[in-house]
Amino acid sequence: MGRAHEVRAASMAKTAAAKSKLNNKWSRIIYMAAKSGVPDPDLNQNLKKEIEKAKREQVTADVIKRAIDKAKGANQESYDPMTLEGFGPGNSMFVIECLTDNHNRTQTAVKVALQRCGGKIAGSGNVTHMFKNTAIFSIDFMSEEEALEALLMAECDVEDISSNDDVVTITAPSTEYGKIREVLKGLLPEGKDFLEDTIAWIPLNPIELTTDKEKEQLERLLALLEEDDDVQDVYHNIIGLEPAEEDEE
């Protein structure tokens, strides 16, 4: 069948793995949101918010329903958020957000992944002080000026607001996330939704990897973290990464 077939098969396998990872991630998040209150999105605003975000990432209704049904049962399974910090290849920095039912297992797995790829685990605060925990929203249903006016009227603390090709991006301290989301949510036209709605770790000192070995270590590290179901999101300070080229037949 040749090289082209192998490339397609590998790509399909990777896509399936990514989909499984995505479903697992949102199953945990929705399960915990449902457990934290009434397992009904009409009565639990946090659950409703997480379901909306999951749908934007193409998580199916079946996955969402199973997570809520699981929360309705007697299952006492519980996941806790966990933020791990580490140094990667070329003195890069990593902030790794996890959701886990076993802190020791998760920390050990992340520690081993970092060590295998030229890095090491870091103590709490050793890396995060070089990142800013930032609320980020992207919308396309109002202008930059309209968004700024609405947020200022609601006394929201906005760090930056910009527009590009009719998409307005708003950044703010993570502590303002809920307040800003409520303001923008109230202005959403029917049939519209956020393009982006998240809290992320933004690096204050981006770097570039300079050697092929470092780049290979980074690729391996990201793959190992992707394989870990406890890992939800990975943030780093590496820039200049080129997307992998697709093989042609």
Six-digit token string for 161: 């607001």
Residue 91 zone, left/alpha/beta (φ > 0; ψ -120 to 50; rest)? left
Interval 109-129: pLDDT, tens: 999 999 999 999 999 999 999
DSSP of 84-137: EEEE-GGG-EEEEEEEES-HHHHHHHHHHHHHHTT-EEE-TTTTGGGEEEEEEE
Is the pLDDT reported for residue 83 higher than 70? yes
Residue whose structure tokens are 């923008």: 184
Q: Whole-angstrom Cα distance, residue 67 to residue 165?
A: 37
Tell me which fold the domain 130-203 belongs to: Alpha-Beta Plaits (3.30.70)
Q: How far apart are the first and last CA of the chain?
A: 11
Is the pLDDT reported for residue 5 higher than 70? no
Q: How many CA atoms lie within 13 A of 18 on its CB side?
A: 10
pLDDT of residue 191: 87
Mean pLDDT of 159-186: 95
Tell me where in the chain the CATH 1.10.10.200 domain(s) lie: 2-72
Band (pLDDT 50/70/90 cuts) for residue 16 is: low
Contact yes or no for 233/103 (Cβ under 8 A): no
Tell me which fold the domain 2-72 belongs to: Arc Repressor Mutant, subunit A (1.10.10)
pLDDT of residue 18: 73
pTM of the model: 0.80
Band (pLDDT 50/70/90 cuts) for residue 105 is: very high
Under CATH, domain 80-129+205-236 is a member of which superfamily? YebC, transcriptional regulation domain (3.30.70.980)
Q: Look up residue 245 and give its DSSP letter.
A: P
pLDDT of residue 242: 61
Tell me where in the chain the CATH 3.30.70.980 domain(s) lie: 80-129+205-236, 130-203
Contact yes or no for 138/200 (Cβ under 8 A): no
Band (pLDDT 50/70/90 cuts) for residue 7 is: very low
pLDDT of residue 137: 96
Q: Which of 209, 230, 195 is nearest to 103 (CA)?
A: 230
Is the pLDDT reported for residue 244 higher than 90? no
pLDDT of residue 150: 96
Residue whose structure tokens are 């300079």: 210
Is the pLDDT reported for residue 11 higher than 60? no
Q: Whole-angstrom Cα distance, residue 163 to residue 169?
A: 6
